[in-house]
Amino acid sequence: MARTRAIIFDLDGVLTDTAEFHYQAWKRLADERGLPFDRHHNQALRGVSREESLRRLLGPLKVSPAKFAAMLHRKNDYYLAMIATLTPADLAPGAADLLRDLNRANWKLAIASASRNAQQVVDRLAIRRHFAAIIDGAAVTRSKPAPDLFLEAARRLDAHPQTAIVIEDAPSGIEAARAAQMRAIAVGPDAAESPADLHITSIAELNVELAESLAADPAYGAAPTVSSNCFGPF
């Protein structure tokens, strides 16, 4: 039986620059609370869940569960106001052609994003038709760097993890892909030092030929090297 050829995309920072919206929303919340927060601090929040992001933002500061929930809600309101301005023109350069070409080449595609607002972003960008599955942070208990999001995406695509390729911009996402025993393509400078199979500066550099080349690698379909602290098998 032929293997399902699957590519799993992160969303923020890969297919669109909503990562900047997340930064602006966290920055506004931090400023309201008088908490130190800049782009350097923001790197620790890339690719992780909203709850974990707030815990990292607060650091040793303790707040009540009610206040914690209120802060999460406020940050999300700030973010939602910004993504309401998104249009298909905000899709990353080259992404529309890439998705179309991968569909034509019979690759099965999924989005796996830690954001619980991924569905809204996908609809604002008008790209839902390209994907067989869209998995957001509400679909799993553990977020990246745990492999759960990517394993759930592979399950929905009916693809074995070892024959799936992940496209990520955050180190935590690359770590999750490796823990899931998937191939990984790192996009942009933040994941430049990560143990990915391929590093590109933007999604515009990726094409069907590169995906086919990675799939043709003799090691494709065999477990990549992962650290001993991976989160378990599929």
> Which positions are annotated as active-site residues?
10, 12
Is the four-CA dihedral 133, 136, 138, 141 of positive or negative sign? positive
DSSP 62-115: ---HHHHHHHHHHHHHHHHHHHTT--GGGBPTTHHHHHHHHHHTT-EEEEE-S-
User: Can you tell me whether residue 6 is helix, strand or coil?
Assistant: strand
Nearest of 181, 105, 119 to residue 150 by alpha carbon: 181
Q: Which amino acid is at 69?
A: A
Q: Which residues contact 132 (CB under 8 A, 6 or more apart)?
A: 108, 109, 110, 156, 157
Provide the pairing of β-strand 164-168 with 133-135. Answer: unpaired
The residue length of the chain stands at 234
